[in-house]
Amino acid sequence: MRERVRFFTKKSGHKYDKDPATVCSTAVNSGILSISPRLASRMSVEAIIRTIRRRGIVHRLYLGNSSLGDSGCVRLFDFLNSSAGRPCRESLTELFLTQNDIGPHGLLAVAGFMKDNTVLRELCLSGNPLTRDVDVIREFVTSLNSSRLCTLQLLHSTSLSDPFVQAFLPGLTTPYLRQLDMSAINMTRAVVPIIVDYVRSPRCHLERLQCNANNLSLPGARSIIDAIEKFNYTLGKVNVDDQHMDDDGGNAEERAIAWQEGWRILSSATRRNFESKIMVKTQAIALLRCCRVLYLRPAQRESSNPLQPVSVLSHKSCLFFKLPLEIQLEILTFLAPTLSYQQLVRVVRYAADITSLPRLSLARDWVSAVERQPFEGSWRPPEWWECHCRSFNCSALRRWRRERRDIWLTEVGCIGNLCWT
């Protein structure tokens, strides 16, 4: 007998069902109850595409348990990469494809969508078999490195195991990834050196790493913790709890003492990193504001030196600009003592560059539904979207500003106590 697939019913709702900028499988597939997987994939993806067309701007796709499979996933991303799917592609920030039986062809389709994508921030591929094919994984990593993805979830995909990690982590170089969840993917102690090499390298800019419910062993977990303590200054939350730690040698009391000591070291390191990151980010933003006022004067014109304004007002009335550039920078270090010299120079250069100022909008854009278009190259939501209010206290706008700030901090290398070259 052919395997049947059961979709969500109308009784099982989702918190985003009534959100006009969210396409959720609970709403799309509410009328499909029990059909064959192949037909379910075709019907599901076509229903999703029809819903996206009606919505126009879509910020979230929650498509868990939609039985897309490889063919449905390829069809979905073919649409999103077409001219008809462009409004969704340029506004989509959250993509959840949990438990959709996605394999190598579907993963390649996801990689094609992610390549050079500066809008997508969260991607969940949990519960999918994906692939162990090295070439496919490398293509996925290459696309991930070219994007600005912030969160990647791969948990509960036990078929991935060590081969996936061995092909995935060594090539991961994106500075924008903040959260990586690889819980319960059947990793073993064999990949511990790869994880250690990643967390101690300048390639790692993660703030959260989840590797629990695997087979890393107690010594493997301690190796990761030691690497974080000595070499990593960005991770603020780490979970390496191992479900098979009781299988390690030694009695139960010795194992408990060893793990408690490891947990103490990890807690101390992550607390150090969290406090350091807050201080660096706060001082970088404060320095930016001061340097904007200091360097961008009303009479400024173009200069070959971006740190040396050439306005008449600056030279005649401000003694600061008569000082050598090195002394100027030394004075500015008192505004941000935690920043390294390289971080300080990058912030000041950015602040002194008049072309980095945002363009001002003189009027709020209240347009008809036919004329509404997403902001190209940015997912900033217009005021008429989601909240239906005429105030500036919009949660979507607050999130947009917060993430734009994080992107800027990444570009100037101020996401932690690091010195980028």
Give the pLDDT confidence of 206-248 residue by residue, as tens digits.
999 999 999 998 899 999 999 999 999 999 999 998 756 656 5
For the chain, percent of residues with pLDDT exceeding 70:
76
Q: How confident is the model at residue 32 (pLDDT cuts 50, 70, 90)?
A: low
Contact 414, 277 (CB under 8 A): no
Give the pLDDT confidence of 158-190 residue by residue, as tens digits.
899 999 999 999 999 999 999 999 999 999 999
Burial track 308-319 (b if 16+ CB lie within 10 A, e otherwise): ebebeebeeeee
Whether residue 10 is predicted with pLDDT greater than 80 in this model: the reply is no
Q: What is the pLDDT of residue 26?
A: 58
**Amino acid, single-letter form, for residue 267:** S
Mean pLDDT of 275-280: 94
End-to-end CA distance of the chain: 61
Q: How confident is the model at residue 416 (pLDDT cuts 50, 70, 90)?
A: confident
Q: What is the pLDDT of residue 63?
A: 92
Q: What is the pLDDT of residue 38?
A: 78
Q: How confident is the model at residue 103 (pLDDT cuts 50, 70, 90)?
A: very high
> CA-to-CA distance for 130 and 256, rounded, in angstroms?
36
Q: For residue 324, how many other CB atoms are within 10 A of its CB?
A: 8
Q: How confident is the model at residue 368 (pLDDT cuts 50, 70, 90)?
A: very low
Provide the β-strand partners of residue 5.
35
H-state helical runs in 371-421? 395-411
Whether residue 367 is predicted with pLDDT greater than 90 in this model: the reply is no
> CA-to-CA distance for 171 and 174, rounded, in angstroms?
9
Structure tokens at 10: 């109308």
Q: What is the pLDDT of residue 345?
A: 94
Whether residue 316 is predicted with pLDDT greater than 80 in this model: the reply is no
**351 or 317, higher pLDDT:** 351
Q: What is the pLDDT of residue 311?
A: 42
Q: Nearest to residue 338, comparing CAs of 419, 407, 408, 269?
A: 419
The 3-state DSSP class for residue 56 equals coil
Q: Nearest to residue 58, comparing CAs of 27, 93, 29?
A: 93
Written as one string, the DSSP assignment of 183-224 is TTS--BGGGHHHHHHHHTSTT---SEEE--SBB--HHHHHHH
Mean pLDDT of 310-326: 66
Whether residue 7 is predicted with pLDDT greater than 60 in this model: the reply is no
Whether residue 192 is predicted with pLDDT greater than 80 in this model: the reply is yes
| Half-sphere exposure (Cβ direction) of 344: Cα atoms closer than 13 Å | 16
pTM exceeds cut of 0.85: no
Look over the chain and give the mean of its residue pLDDT values, rounded to a whole number: 81
Label residue 237 exposed, middle or buried (CB < 10 Å: 0-12, 13-18, 19+): middle
**62 or 297, higher pLDDT:** 62
**34 or 346, higher pLDDT:** 346
Q: Residue 363 phi/psi, 5° resolution?
A: -145, 145
Residue ranges with strand state E in 286-363: none
> CA-to-CA distance for 185 and 219, rounded, in angstroms?
19
Contacts of 318 (CB under 8 A, 6+ apart): none
Helix, strand, coil distribution of the chain in percent, nearest 5: 45, 10, 45
Structural Rg of the chain based on CA atoms: 25
Q: Nearest to residue 154, comparing CAs of 173, 176, 132?
A: 132
Whether residue 265 is predicted with pLDDT greater than 90 in this model: the reply is yes
**374 or 355, higher pLDDT:** 355
